[in-house]
Each structure stands twice: as C-alpha cells, then as structure tokens.
A and B are shown apart, each in its own frame.
Chain A
C-alpha cells in the first residue's frame, strides 16, 4: 500500500497540479508533495476527505487505500462501546465478501448516510476484464515489453484502437508520473474517446525491479482503457489501488488460469 503514489496518480489524472490541489484543500504544496512521496505521514481523515472531494472520488475509498479504517473504527468503538459486540458477531460468523455486501445493502437501505450525497457505487474491475485480456506469469526484460503486451490485449478485437498508438499513450502517461501504486501493482491507463472501458491484467513471473513507491518489485499490472475523462475512471483507479492494498498481487500470482483470476477478483470485489 502506498497512499502517496495513489494520490499523485489520481491528481495527475484529474488534471490538477500539485499547487492547485494544495491550494484547494488549504495545505502547502510542499506538504502535499511530501505526502505524495511518502515522506510525511498520511493525512488525517478530514484532510483525506477534502482531497477525495476535490478529486471527486468517494472519501471511504481513499480512507481504505490509506489503511485509515482501523483508527477510524477504533475511535467509533470508544465512543459507542456497544458496537464492539456487533463487530464481534460479524467476526464470529466469518462472513464472506458477498455476505458482507448483503449486510451493507441492508445498512444503506435502513440508515442512509445523511449530509453527504449518495456515492455512486464503485465500478468493479472484474466485468472489464475478459479471459483473453488476462496474461499470466509473464516474464520479460522490461516495462516496455509489459506495455506492449497490455496494449496488444486491449487493442485486440477493438477496431479503432491501434496497439502501437496505445503503447505510446500509456508510455506518455507513465512519463508524466509513475503509475505504480505500491504493493507490487501498477495501473497504466490511457484514453481513447468513445471507447467502452476495458481492462487487461498481467501477472509477472519475474518481478520487475524499478522505481516503485514502496520499493517492492512490480508483480501485477492492471491496465485500463477508458473512453472518457469522467470521475468514474478516477474512482476505478482508486479502487484498483485499494485492491492492491488488500494484497491483490499476492493472491493472483498463484493462479494459472484466466478464469481463476476472474473468479478471485469477483470474490474480492463483492464488498466494495
């Protein structure tokens, strides 16, 4: 997990400069830069919410990426000790992802969050993938090769998308700022107007050494192709970063069939 790298990724994609975002949330750009580089501690939940608002992504998502959930919950438990018993009950039943999703649906229906607009549901990653866009155990000599493979998968079967141009787009985006979000995951992405969104997933048999924010070698690449610039794509990127923080790379690295990958992902994503 590396919150700073994710923040930078989202900020660059939102088209905000460091100074703009800093000014909007009322911090100095030097501080924000330190946060993005992981030199400073992750921002407080309030500040994180402000950032999420400026980037137009659900605050809970960023909170999740930042692993800020447990302190937040701990604070709540101290205020309302009775809630602890409920959490224990959930833990005792060992509820799986889909079951928790049902619990959450109940909560949403019964106790809608007041004061904030209803967050649009986080778009899941699994439906954007297809078995032919999952490449497993790739071993190659460098990042360029990964981009080639990814672009070719994203372009295949889509007239109007040229793999070579896609590689160029992905590379240019990568030069602007790194697309590695830590935990061995990178999310290169590109835009082709009017294209339905799609994703490709590559696991690397030989971890790629390179500049990753947390120093862990790259083992999983989730590439996204988008048709628009809307906030959905930012939410999706943040969502992938959160999955990375959950240990997505470790889980998928063991798998050898695209179908297994899709199943694992759906399971992991059931509770968004």
Chain B
C-alpha cells in the first residue's frame, strides 16, 4: 500500500497536522502555547509512545525510507520560519531601552552559558558523550543550548496575557530579541567550529561569516529599504516582489550553508535586515505565515519527536541527569535574568516575571538541538533529555507567570507611550495674529527682518473669526473669504521667501485663543496687527489689552504705515522692562538683517545717563557693530521721541509706558500721540513677564547692567 512515496507523505502530513491541532485544543484549554502541543504531538507519534505501543503502525506510517523527505521538508519549513522570526525582530525594540535590557540579556546568556558549558565539561561529557566528539565542540554547544530563549513563544505569551505594553513586557521582549541575535551568532560560531576540520578552517569560516553579515547590513539592507519604500508607496506587495524576496531568502540561506554556518542563520539574518517601517515586513509575514507555521512547522516538530526516544532514559540515573539538566537550565536562565533585572532597579516581582519569561525555551531550543544531533555533537540520549528540558521550561512559563504576576499586579503596571524628552534650543518663533488682511504684508516684512536668514525659524499666522461673522457668512462663500484675511500676508511671505504656517478658526474669546496658540507654538514673540478701531481711539485697548495681560512672552503691536523694508530703526529708551524688550527686538533686527539702530535715550538730567548707556551696551556689545546712542534732555519724552522720529526712520520700536503716552488700558481715551503723529511705521512692544519692583519704575532701572540681564532677550 505504501508504494507511492507521495501518497505516504501526504498521509504523514495529514496525521501530523491533525494530531498537533487536536492536542493544541487541549493545550489551549490548559492555557499553554501551541508549541507545547506540537512538540507533544511529535513525541506521541515517535518511538516514545506510538512506537512503543504499536511499532508496526509507526514503522508503516513513518518508515525509515521516508525520513529524508521529511527531513528536507522540515528544513525548508524551518528556513521559512527562521525568516519569519527575523521579520518579527524589530530594531525599534532594541533602541531606547537603555542599560536595563542590555544588562539583563547579557547576564541571561552568560550565566546559563557558563552553567551549561560547566556541566558539559565537568560531568556530561564523561557520562553522555563519546570520545570522538571534540571536547570543545561539546562544551560550547551545551552552553549555547542552555542559553536559548524562544523569542516567538515569549511574544505569544506576552500578547495573550496583555503584557506587551507593560514595562515587564517591553523589557522582556527587548531582552529576548538581543538574546536571539546573540545566541544565533554563538550557534553559527559553534557550528563552524564543529564542522571545520582544523583551526585554520574554523577561523576562515568565522571570517567569511562576519564578512557575510557586513555584506547583508551594508549592501542588502539599503536595497531592501528601497524595495520596502516602493512597496509602501504603491498598491502593495505584488507576486514579483514576493518572488524576489523569496529568491533572496533562499540565496541567503544557501550562502550561509555553504560558508559552513547553518542555512537557518542566513534565513534569520535576511529576515532581520528587512525594513520593518513600511508594509513590506508585515505583508510578507502575512503571506508566508500560514504555510510556514501551519503546514511546515508541525513537520519539523514531528520530525524532532520521531528522534526523541524517551525509552533511552531507562535508568534512574538517566532521569536524575535529566532532572539536573532541567534545574540547571532554570537556575541559569531564571536566576541570571531575574537577578540582573533586580539589580537594574525593577521590583522583585517584575524581575522574577522577566526571569520566568526568559526561561521559555520553546521551539528555538528544538531547532538548536536538532542541529546538534545532526552534527553528531550530542547523543540521542542527551537530545531526549534536552527536549524534555525545553518542554518543561516552556510548559512552566504560563502558570508560574500567572502566579508571580497576577492580573491585579498587571493592571497597575501598564506603561504609557514613551515620550522622549525635549530637543535642545528651539528656533525663534513668531506668531502673527491678523485680524484684517491689510495688516498682513507689513507683518511678513517685519518677520522677515526679524528672522533674516536664520535656519528653521518658525513663523505662524493666525486669523480668528468671530462666531457672529462665521454664522453670517453664507455657506458657499466660506472658503474664499476664509482665505482672504491671511492671503495678503501669505503672498508677501511667499515673495520674501518665508515659509509661514497659516491657521484660522472660529473664536469667541480671541485674546485667550491667541495666548493659548502662542504657548502651544512656543512663540518667542506675539505680533498683533492694528487697524483703526471703530469706537476707541486707542491702539492698546480691547483684545490687544487682554493679550498683553495674559501673554507669557513679549507682545508687539505693529502700526503699519507702508512698511516695506527695514533699514533704519529708532528705539526711544528710558529703561523700563518694555523698553528693554524693544531694544532686544531692535538688536535682533540688526543682527539678522543688518538694520541700522538708533537708540534715543531721553533723560530728565544729562548727568545720569551712564546707567542707560551701560544697559544699551550690554544689549549691543561693541563687537556687533554700529548702534547710535543719542542722549536728549527733555521733560516730555514723547515729544522728544516724535521729534527724532521725523528724521526718516523706517520703524520706531517703542515700549509700552506712560512716558511715551502709551498706556495699556482696557478702555483708553488717551491720545496715544506717538501712534497718531509718528510719520513712519511703529512697533509697540510690551513685555508682560512679571518684573521685580525695582525694575518696574524707569528711574530705578538705571541702577546698573545687572537689571538688563533679566531681559528675556533671544538671539
């Protein structure tokens, strides 16, 4: 009946898949990962149970002649599966976890490796190995076999327990990822040593393997990144792309096999270098997963099970050895990682949870063991013991985890999206608030002069629409009119080569919204426009007043009289904090666009202007070049400033203050003469940061340069 090899293979597949799914249901009921079921299914089908109960059935179903086919099939399945493991390995997991993960993962490899190697060297080599196996190979292999962590099983357990986003989960998954990479590199190294006939050959293999890794990272990875970008931008993964990736995967596996490290390493490496950002990795995983995991992987498990012969452990001594191996494996892995986790500052509970998670060996252990058995490094007897060890460590993970880390604990321990800290100094940022279109161009010009050629300066334009006007507006005209207030500003900005981010919305309380937006945009300066008000004669009433009250940083009101180019700037100066804010802006204009600045110091008596000069010099160091300081004695500062302003300045920058006739009042009927009579454009500056009593009066502000230091000047 079994003459047809294909029919036999199909029958084997049906039995294997059917049985592992059947046992899988039971495993699910016990809260165990599916891996356990698949391994158990393999053992059941093998000589341990089926072969023991009904040798004929087993020999009929899995005759020795069919083994090569099963071997090959399971190896192909493993190549695909290792590729998937590599795909799941996201470098983002490794980044930014700091020294916690690195320390834990290193000690979770070093400790079990040392224990495994030590046990191998001192004890197992004598009792369970044969002399033809080289001592070094055996010891190294035992070390690696002990230090494996099953990244995929761990990920499944974490997902099922909803731990993926918790601190424990993120640390554990990062450690497992590091472990995976390290262990596979170690294994590749061990395989190369075992296969090499001489030391020179081993060295050559290692060098070639390293060269291959460098080649993958430097050449293949950039290529894949471009491929990934193409896949992301277009409809998705075409079959051509899948074909190209599969061919490259097979080539990678083949090359590593030829080099002398295992084909699985090439598959894993190729999966790991595939970019995880776009949809490429996800789509590939979707396409391949079902075939690899449902169809081919059980074949591998069955194959491992067929080679596991529990019957070989026929003496009490064997079972004791097996038990000791299991204990050593748990102590090394659990102890190593839990202690390291505790030392990095996690609580004992969390540390033990990480330890038990890292102790999961799962199917990765089986892969390693099969390689070892194929190479002849370990005997079938030791293989069986190690398979049992892998089963036990995987099996105990879920219940023990539930015990140390119950759901209530878990609820307390969720973490937030990690929010990285702030970057350094923010670029200069200006918020331009436009209520009427005509104010826009002047603001753009001023913003251009304030920022000059500075890289990364942030310019925001804000237009607030009152709810009444918004509801009056007919629906169909909304868009054109909405734009019109900001359009003149944006046009001017475009012609000046500025990039401005416009923003506009309906607001019932414009002052608050301006301040909120300024805060959100981290504006260094809030620039307000001015147009002739209907009822009040003042510039500084209404919304402007409210903004000046609430703002956290300097506020400036631009009275635009055809501001086109800022070459000459006048700053009338007495010494209040607002005056100093005005000076700071003037300084910025000078530095950024080379404006010529004149400071007009008005004083009641000529003798005492030394303090003011010191302040001006503090803000305008001589090295910066020309600033003209004029000192005028006058009892009426606003008259003096107006007189000077008539000498052809493009812009007069003046601080808010009674001395200039500019009082910041809610309902002012003040003349604001300087606003009315100044021939050119005017910028009224207010610095609302709370000042100490000494600074708030102009007279006292002359007290010395240290007062000027308090100015929030930015350059």
> Which chain A residues have a beta carbon within 8 Å of chain B's beta carbons?
15-20, 28-30, 33, 132, 135-141, 145, 148-149, 151-153, 155-156, 163-165, 168-169, 172-173, 190-193, 202, 205-206, 228-229, 256-258
CB contacts (< 8 Å) of A165 on chain B: these are 419
CB contacts (< 8 Å) of A139 on chain B: these are 482-483, 502-505
Tell me, rounded to whole Å, the shortest Cβ–Cβ distance linking B193 to chain A: 37
Is B257 positioned at the interface, with any CB of A under 8 Å from its CB? no
Complexed CA–CA distance, A188 and B414 (Å)? 20
Complexed CA–CA distance, A262 and B165 (Å)? 34
Tell me, rounded to whole Å, the shortest Cβ–Cβ distance linking A133 to chain B: 11
Is B519 positioned at the interface, with any CB of A under 8 Å from its CB? yes
Contacts of B157-173 to chain A: CB distance below 8 A: 159-160, 162, 164-165
Verify A140–B503 contact, CB threshold 8 A: yes
CB contacts (< 8 Å) of B471 on chain A: these are 256
With A148-B520, A173-B417 known to touch, is A16 a contact of B159 (CB < 8 Å)?
A: yes
Look across to chain A and name the residue whose beta carbon is closest to the beta carbon of B465: A137
Look across to chain B and name the residue whose beta carbon is closest to the beta carbon of A144: B501
Is B60 positioned at the interface, with any CB of A under 8 Å from its CB? no
Look across to chain A and name the residue whose beta carbon is closest to the beta carbon of B515: A156
Tell me, rounded to whole Å, the shortest Cβ–Cβ distance linking A120 to chain B: 16
Verify A138–B416 contact, CB threshold 8 A: no
With A33-B286, A152-B517, A228-B414 known to touch, is A17 a contact of B159 (CB < 8 Å)?
A: yes
Tell me, rounded to whole Å, the shortest Cβ–Cβ distance linking A119 to chain B: 20
Chain B, residues 20-37, CB within 8 Å of chain A (1/0): the string is 000000000000000000
What are 24 sample pairs from A and B whose C-beta atoms fall under 8 A apart? A17-B159, A19-B285, A20-B159, A28-B290, A30-B286, A132-B512, A137-B465, A137-B470, A137-B482, A137-B506, A138-B505, A140-B503, A149-B505, A149-B517, A153-B516, A156-B519, A164-B422, A165-B419, A169-B416, A190-B417, A205-B479, A205-B504, A228-B414, A257-B508
CB contacts (< 8 Å) of B470 on chain A: these are 136-137, 256
Contacts of B493-527 to chain A: CB distance below 8 A: 501-506, 508, 512, 516-517, 519-522
With A136-B470, A172-B417, A228-B414 known to touch, is A29 a contact of B504 (CB < 8 Å)?
A: no
With A15-B164, A20-B159, A229-B414 known to touch, is A135 a contact of B505 (CB < 8 Å)?
A: yes
Tell me, rounded to whole Å, the shortest Cβ–Cβ distance linking A7 to chain B: 16
Central interface residue in B286, B422, B470, B508, by most chain A CB within 10 Å: B286
Tell me, rounded to whole Å, the shortest Cβ–Cβ distance linking A188 to chain B: 12
CB contacts (< 8 Å) of A206 on chain B: these are 479, 482
Complexed CA–CA distance, A136 and B159 (Å)? 40
Complexed CA–CA distance, A138 and B505 (Å)? 4
Complexed CA–CA distance, A80 and B357 (Å)? 54
Complexed CA–CA distance, A148 and B156 (Å)? 37
Chain B, residues 453-481, CB within 8 Å of chain A (1/0): the string is 00000000000010100110000001100
Verify B419–A30 contact, CB threshold 8 A: no
Verify A257–B467 contact, CB threshold 8 A: yes
Is B639 positioned at the interface, with any CB of A under 8 Å from its CB? no
Chain B, residues 277-316, CB within 8 Å of chain A (1/0): the string is 0000010011101100000000000000000000000000
Is B420 positioned at the interface, with any CB of A under 8 Å from its CB? yes
> Which chain B residues have a beta carbon within 8 Å of chain A's beta carbons?
156, 159-160, 162, 164-165, 282, 285-287, 289-290, 414-417, 419-420, 422, 465, 467, 470-471, 478-479, 482-483, 501-506, 508, 512, 516-517, 519-522
Among all A-B residue pairs, the 4 with the closest Cβ atoms: A152-B520, A138-B505, A136-B506, A139-B504
Complexed CA–CA distance, A41 and B415 (Å)? 36
With A18-B282, A156-B516 known to touch, is A140 a contact of B501 (CB < 8 Å)?
A: yes
* Cβ-neighbour of B505 out of A137, A168, A173 (below 8 A): A137
Verify A145–B419 contact, CB threshold 8 A: no
CB contacts (< 8 Å) of A18 on chain B: these are 282, 286
Verify B290–A151 contact, CB threshold 8 A: no
Tell me, rounded to whole Å, the shortest Cβ–Cβ distance linking A239 to chain B: 22
CB contacts (< 8 Å) of B162 on chain A: these are 15
CB contacts (< 8 Å) of A152 on chain B: these are 516-517, 519-520
Tell me, rounded to whole Å, the shortest Cβ–Cβ distance linking B551 to chain A: 14
Verify B290–A30 contact, CB threshold 8 A: yes
CB contacts (< 8 Å) of B286 on chain A: these are 18-19, 29-30, 33
Look across to chain B and name the residue whose beta carbon is closest to the beta carbon of A153: B516
CB contacts (< 8 Å) of B519 on chain A: these are 152, 156, 163
Complexed CA–CA distance, A256 and B286 (Å)? 47
Tell me, rounded to whole Å, the shortest Cβ–Cβ distance linking A22 to chain B: 9
Can you add 13 more A-B contacts, CB < 8 Å, to A19-B285, A228-B414?
A15-B159, A20-B160, A29-B289, A30-B286, A137-B482, A139-B483, A141-B501, A149-B505, A152-B516, A156-B516, A165-B419, A169-B416, A257-B508
Complexed CA–CA distance, A157 and B289 (Å)? 49
Verify A229–B165 contact, CB threshold 8 A: yes
Look across to chain A and name the residue whose beta carbon is closest to the beta carbon of B502: A141
Verify A256–B506 contact, CB threshold 8 A: yes
Tell me, rounded to whole Å, the shortest Cβ–Cβ distance linking B494 to chain A: 13
* Cβ-neighbour of B287 out of A30, A156, A190 (below 8 A): A30
With A30-B286, A136-B470, A190-B417 known to touch, is A149 a contact of B503 (CB < 8 Å)?
A: yes
With A33-B286, A163-B520 known to touch, is A205 a contact of B505 (CB < 8 Å)?
A: yes
CB contacts (< 8 Å) of A229 on chain B: these are 165, 414
Complexed CA–CA distance, A256 and B506 (Å)? 7
Complexed CA–CA distance, A29 and B503 (Å)? 42
Look across to chain A and name the residue whose beta carbon is closest to the beta carbon of B519: A152
Verify A169–B503 contact, CB threshold 8 A: no
Verify A151–B416 contact, CB threshold 8 A: no
Look across to chain B and name the residue whose beta carbon is closest to the beta carbon of A190: B417
CB contacts (< 8 Å) of A155 on chain B: these are 520
CB contacts (< 8 Å) of A164 on chain B: these are 422, 522
Complexed CA–CA distance, A47 and B116 (Å)? 48
Complexed CA–CA distance, A140 and B463 (Å)? 10
Verify A140–B165 contact, CB threshold 8 A: no
Complexed CA–CA distance, A136 and B516 (Å)? 15
Look across to chain B and name the residue whose beta carbon is closest to the beta carbon of A34: B286
Complexed CA–CA distance, A256 and B474 (Å)? 13
Tell me, rounded to whole Å, the shortest Cβ–Cβ distance linking A131 to chain B: 8
With A15-B164, A256-B470 known to touch, is A148 a contact of B521 (CB < 8 Å)?
A: yes
CB contacts (< 8 Å) of B508 on chain A: these are 257-258
Complexed CA–CA distance, A192 and B479 (Å)? 37
CB contacts (< 8 Å) of B282 on chain A: these are 18
Complexed CA–CA distance, A148 and B129 (Å)? 67
CB contacts (< 8 Å) of A16 on chain B: these are 159
* Cβ-neighbour of A136 out of B422, B503, B505, B517 (below 8 A): B505
Look across to chain A and name the residue whose beta carbon is closest to the beta carbon of B290: A28
